[in-house]
Structure 1
Amino acid sequence: MTSLQKLRLPHLIKYVSLLCTETKFRPSKSNLYVNGSYHILQHLRFCRTESVVNLRNGGNIGELANKSSVVRKEAQAALLEYLHCTRSLQIMDAENMSRNAPEFFDRLLKRVDIDCAKVRGSLARFLRYHPINEFEPFFESIGLKRNEYALFLPQKMMFLNDDKSLLENYYVLCNYGVARSRVGKIYKEAREVFQYECGVLQSKMQAYENLGLRQPLVVKIIASSPRLLIGNVNREFVEVLETLKKLEIEYDFLEEHISEGDSYDWKCMLELMCLLSELGLSEGQLGKILTHHPDLLLVCSGRITFCLFGLLIKFGLTLIDVQNVFLQFPQISVVKFSTNLCKCYKFLMEINTDVQDIGRIICSYTLLLGSSELKKVRSLLGALNCGKNRLREMVKNDPYVLKKFVRGVRVDRLPEENRALDVKLVKTKFLLSLGFVEDSNEMEKALKVYRGRGEELQERFDCLVDIGLSREEAISVVRVYPQTLNQSKDVIETKVGCFVKDLGYTMTDLLSYPAVVSYTMQRVKLRLLMYKWLKDKRAVHPKLSLSTLLSCSEKRFVKFYVNSLPRGIEICYCLFKLLIKMGRGRGKGKKQSAIAARDDNGSGEDEKLPVRRRGRPQKPLKDDIDEVDEIEKIDEEDVDEEDSKVLSKSTNENGRKRKKPSQVKENGDSAIEENGTKTNSTALIKSVGYRQNGSRRKNKPRRAAEVGVECK
């Protein structure tokens, strides 16, 4: 029994559903029972599709039309019936307006609210009591957009039959063969045509047929150039036809290549044909060119060809060269040819090609450049694995290599062995000129030690010769100390000039210790000026070598030289500030020059510099006095003192008590205390420390507080 119920239940449900659909039956609130089951049909849904439910409950037909094509077709049929039967428009016009005006149709449907499933009747009832402006669907059906025909809507008319001249001329154009969708362009560009009296428009079109043109060609010409229908027969158009006839070009040429969607300027086309004739082309050659390349004349009415002509003349082509370009014009559109030519020019500019070379390449290989759609420079450099210089040389030596760089062609990487070999050969040649033996161990070491290309090394070596060294002396310098050539030419000139001119040393001193060039200028100046001051005080040996002064560590220099006199740290600090004010120009000097600018030495007392904190503005202190005057002042005071009693006396100077010898000795490594922060005296020298050439280790990062109390 249970199995029998399972077999009969689906059939029963299907039968009840069909019955409810046909009789519009609505289930009652009571539950439907089936023998052997409890509430089997309690949740059974007896309903139609979503659109029918919305129609029963009242809905917007515009929303339904977007979901159902059937509803949309019924609404279009209702609009067609209204326009044809109620408004008495021709059936073709009514059908065109109901089907080819989608924007107007959608706006109309959004205004209609219905309460039953009869879409057609609901829309017809709405149109009966809410007449529409018939000019809106008419203008949209002939090819105009809403923003275009908004200005053409009549102010005192809303029914199309009221404008008889419009409909009459519209029918003339349609009967002549003009597509209804093309009439809108004629109305937009030549509105006067639709105000002609009966027979005027037909006579104008017949006048163009009398020139020997077939009716399909006249239709295309009218649709593309509506202003030909205004006034008499256009004179420029007639001259174009006569010129084509002289060139032995049939009118079928125009019928085949003219597009109704384009607009043509017949005067511009006539000027282009005259220009091409002035290049020296015969009528046969010009006719052949236009026959094989009609886009030269018809695309944008020949304006693109005018631009191409001016571009070629600007690049330096002669009239004969331009003539050859048009005679050998490739089988691509003139727009594509001009675009490729401009992109090739941009390509040559991006790889830094000289202007003369660009002009030469374009003049000699115009057809090649116009036919090649090149890749972008960035992607091409990545594919070739080379730089712009090498790519530029390749193009200059053989412009036909551009054929390999067009889009769609795979580009292989260039070999790198030849490039590395050339660099090594130039560098080896330079080292051989210095006296190195080829294929020796010294040569292998020199190739690693000397950094840079051969041309750069030669330029730096010539710089040493130009500053006053003989060639033999320069060779000895670079062989004893190779790192000299690892600096740029400007750096070498600046350091040697500072050593000789500013500090008063000779080239002989430089030859005795070539490593002077490797130190920073500030380190060299500070130590040598400090040594000069110590010599004047007779505190050091008067003939110390440069290597002893410059190569020693910061700690050793401070211990044996700066602290050799009680005021050594003060003098060193003043010298340091003076060098900062003169400007070092890079590195730490920039930071410390800003710090030194806030220092005040005018009182002669211990300077109290507040600890600098990161991110907080610092109030400026008193203005600095001239450090040179301060050094001279300290020197004059030291003259009156005996050198033997400098460390044993405690005197007052400028209102400041000098520390006891024990205190001086104890605080030899911490010269000045500021706000509870002690600063090591070696900070003076560390700020201008020596960094060995070739070392790529970064300087140790320092906090702003450390910088603020440095170099005291």
Structure 2
Amino acid sequence: MHFHPPTTFSLYSTLSRHFSSTTKLPKLSKIPSRYRPKAIHLAQKALTDYLHTTRSLPFIYAEHISKNALFSLSDVASKVHFSPSTFFKSFQRFLRYHPINEFEFFYESIGINYHEINGFLPPNKFFLSEDSRVLNAAFAFSGFGFPWNRLGELYREEISIFSKNPSELSRKLHGFKDYGFGSVTVIGIGLVFPYVLNGKTELGNEISALFDDLGKLFVDFDLLNCVEGNVDAWIEVCRKIKVFYDLGCEKGKMGELMGKRKSIFLEYPEEVLVNKVEFFCRLSVNKSDVGLLILERPEILDFDLEDQMISVLGLLKHFGMNTKELKSISEKYPYVLGRHKMVNLPHVMRALDLQEWFFNKMRSGKHHLLCTCVVGNEDLDKDYKGSLDIIQSSRTSIHTLQKLNFYVFHQYILSYMISTLLLHNTIYIRSYDKN
């Protein structure tokens, strides 16, 4: 048998990822805690031997399944009497007389959540040989280089792919390399844009447009030589590209602009990109315009748009609003004035009905002003005096001045309350967008 025992560190790392999961493994109460890693290792060996020798699976795939199905494996192990000296043989005997549902192990091994597997199991089938289409498709993907335990991502998104002829899948995957991409790049594209593997006629133009963009970005602008040659690196790059398409940026027309701004895909984590996108989407402007803003002004990704404090009137003046306009804002929206965290700026602008005005300032090149409009504690007196001058010259100066004095007296209380309400609105909108 060709099973190679893992090192202590690799086995510990593998088990830690699963035992620390929010989904708890079946309790191995029959096995003393000090023996559990060894028991799992022996169970993996026995299962690999069973799938390879008894069920005639190629060894490499039998090993993939046994190493990546710890929940299913632990469930079976909990039913087997444990003894350090006999557990391996006991587990083998259990498999001979108690056939397992091989589809459960297979689906977990490719990355399907253990507690969701029942929704994927074929009815009245127990052995992989009873429905070999899914398994053969997995063989084709794995043979090309796809990580076995990430095939579930493909299966979830485009389940019909796994009913295709393995030779057809291999031809399609190798055909993508004709664009000048390496195998690892094709894998990243396939995992992030799985519909390209489906081959549906109605998606032909969309797929062609996507590869036009990717060809320009990866080949013409040489991104291929700037990314590490591993699957995870290419998945991250492709996920960042997908952010712009999800915003509505048109496929087939973004390749050159993305290529000129390839630093976005090389230097910034996906989380930073998504956070900035969400910030500007909260302005309720066209989402595709948000994507274009980030591509046209990538330095925005360096801005702190979370915790910095801003003065509403100070920011409006900073962005070019004149005294007359500021006076009008003070009269109409006195309850919005004051200091806020930068993260609440989109909701402040919407409350002032200035979201389009503000966003157009961003698009026109005034985005850099966001870095210089922050108000510190030492600027509070100036902020107050500026507001006072504007209000005193307004038609409702006495009434509004009383409000201003009240607001300043309760400066921190009001700032906290408004920020909390706006932050609650932020959380609600983020939740709504995700749904």
What is the TM-score of this pair, normalised by structure 2? 0.56
- Distance 1:305-1:168 versus aligned 2 partners, 3 A rule: same
Helix, strand or coil: the match of 1:144?
Answer: coil
Q: Which residue of 2 aligns with 1:390?
A: 381
- Distance 1:142-1:75 versus aligned 2 partners, 3 A rule: same
Tell me whether 1:351 sits opposite 2:338 in the alignment: yes
Helix, strand or coil: the match of 1:64?
Answer: coil
- Tell me how far apart the structure 2 counterparts of residues 90 and 213 of structure 1 sit (CA, whole Å): 29
Measure how far apart 1:346 and its partner are: 8.8
- Tell me how far apart the structure 2 counterparts of residues 296 and 273 of structure 1 sit (CA, whole Å): 23
- Tell me how far apart the structure 2 counterparts of residues 219 and 351 of structure 1 sit (CA, whole Å): 51
The question of whether the paired residues in 2 share the 8 Å contact of 1:186 and 1:226 is answered with yes
The amino acid that maps onto 2:145 is G
The question of whether the paired residues in 2 share the 8 Å contact of 1:135 and 1:153 is answered with yes
- Tell me how far apart the structure 1 counterparts of residues 358 and 381 of structure 2 sit (CA, whole Å): 17
- Tell me how far apart the structure 1 counterparts of residues 42 and 269 of structure 2 sit (CA, whole Å): 45
Query: What percent identity do the matched residue pairs reach?
Result: 23
- Tell me how far apart the structure 2 counterparts of residues 167 and 313 of structure 1 sit (CA, whole Å): 45
Helix, strand or coil: the match of 1:210?
Answer: helix
Q: Which residue of 1 aligns with 2:128?
A: 160
Tell me whether 1:236 sits opposite 2:203 in the alignment: no
Q: Which residue of 2 aligns with 1:252?
A: 224
- Tell me how far apart the structure 2 counterparts of residues 230 and 298 of structure 1 sit (CA, whole Å): 29
Q: Which residue of 1 aligns with 2:405?
A: none
What is the TM-score of this pair, normalised by structure 1? 0.36
- Distance 1:263-1:85 versus aligned 2 partners, 3 A rule: farther
The question of whether the paired residues in 2 share the 8 Å contact of 1:84 and 1:91 is answered with yes
- Distance 1:168-1:342 versus aligned 2 partners, 3 A rule: farther
The amino acid that maps onto 2:299 is P
Task: Specify which of 15, 18, 31 is matched with residue 64 of structure 1.
Answer: 31
Tell me whether 1:290 sits opposite 2:257 in the alignment: no
- Distance 1:351-1:325 versus aligned 2 partners, 3 A rule: same
The question of whether the paired residues in 2 share the 8 Å contact of 1:216 and 1:255 is answered with no
- Tell me how far apart the structure 1 counterparts of residues 172 and 372 of structure 2 sit (CA, whole Å): 44
1:577-596 matched pairs, under 5 angstroms: none
The question of whether the paired residues in 2 share the 8 Å contact of 1:65 and 1:72 is answered with no
Task: Specify which of 129, 147, 170 is matched with residue 202 of structure 1.
Answer: 170
The question of whether the paired residues in 2 share the 8 Å contact of 1:240 and 1:269 is answered with no
The amino acid that maps onto 1:236 is E
Q: Which has the higher contact order (CA 8 A, sep 6+)?
A: 2
The question of whether the paired residues in 2 share the 8 Å contact of 1:66 and 1:72 is answered with no
Q: Which residue of 2 aligns with 1:268?
A: 245
Q: What RMSD over aligned residues (CA atoms) do the two structures have, in Å?
A: 5.1
The question of whether the paired residues in 2 share the 8 Å contact of 1:325 and 1:367 is answered with no
Q: Which residue of 2 aligns with 1:176?
A: 144
- Tell me how far apart the structure 1 counterparts of residues 307 and 252 of structure 2 sit (CA, whole Å): 21
- Tell me how far apart the structure 2 counterparts of residues 325 and 192 of structure 1 sit (CA, whole Å): 35
Helix, strand or coil: the match of 1:150?
Answer: helix
The amino acid that maps onto 1:369 is L
Measure how far apart 1:224 and its partner are: 1.7
Q: Which residue of 1 aligns with 2:343?
A: none
Tell me whether 1:330 sits opposite 2:299 in the alignment: yes
The question of whether the paired residues in 2 share the 8 Å contact of 1:133 and 1:159 is answered with yes
1:457-606 matched pairs, under 5 angstroms: none
Q: Which residue of 1 aligns with 2:393?
A: none
Helix, strand or coil: the match of 1:111?
Answer: coil
Measure how far apart 1:219 and its partner are: 1.5
Q: Which residue of 2 aligns with 1:645?
A: none
Unmatched 5+ stretches in structure 2: 1-26, 316-335, 341-347, 389-397, 402-435
Alignment deviations for residues 100-157 of structure 1 (CA, whole Å, 9 cap, x no partner): 2111122112222357841112222222211110111111111111233221111111
Tell me whether 1:366 sits opposite 2:367 in the alignment: yes
Alignment deviations for residues 484-541 of structure 1 (CA, whole Å, 9 cap, x no partner): xxxxxxxxxxxxxxxxxxxxxxxxxxxxxxxxxxxxxxxxxxxxxxxxxxxxxxxxxx
Helix, strand or coil: the match of 2:199?
Answer: coil
Q: Which residue of 2 aligns with 1:690?
A: none
**Considering only CA atoms, is the larger Rg found in Structure 1 or Structure 2?**
1
Measure how far apart 1:180 and its partner are: 0.4
Tell me how many residue pairs correspond in the alignment.
Answer: 316
The question of whether the paired residues in 2 share the 8 Å contact of 1:76 and 1:99 is answered with yes
Q: Which residue of 2 aligns with 1:36?
A: none
The question of whether the paired residues in 1 share the 8 Å contact of 2:261 and 2:298 is answered with no
Helix, strand or coil: the match of 1:272?
Answer: coil
The amino acid that maps onto 1:91 is F
Measure how far apart 1:244 and its partner are: 6.0
1:308-457 matched pairs, under 5 angstroms: 329-330=298-299, 332=301, 339-340=305-306, 351-352=338-339, 363=361, 366-369=367-370, 390=381, 392-393=383-384
Unmatched 5+ stretches in structure 1: 1-59, 278-282, 398-455, 460-712
Helix, strand or coil: the match of 1:153?
Answer: coil
Measure how far apart 1:265 and its partner are: 4.7
The amino acid that maps onto 2:148 is R
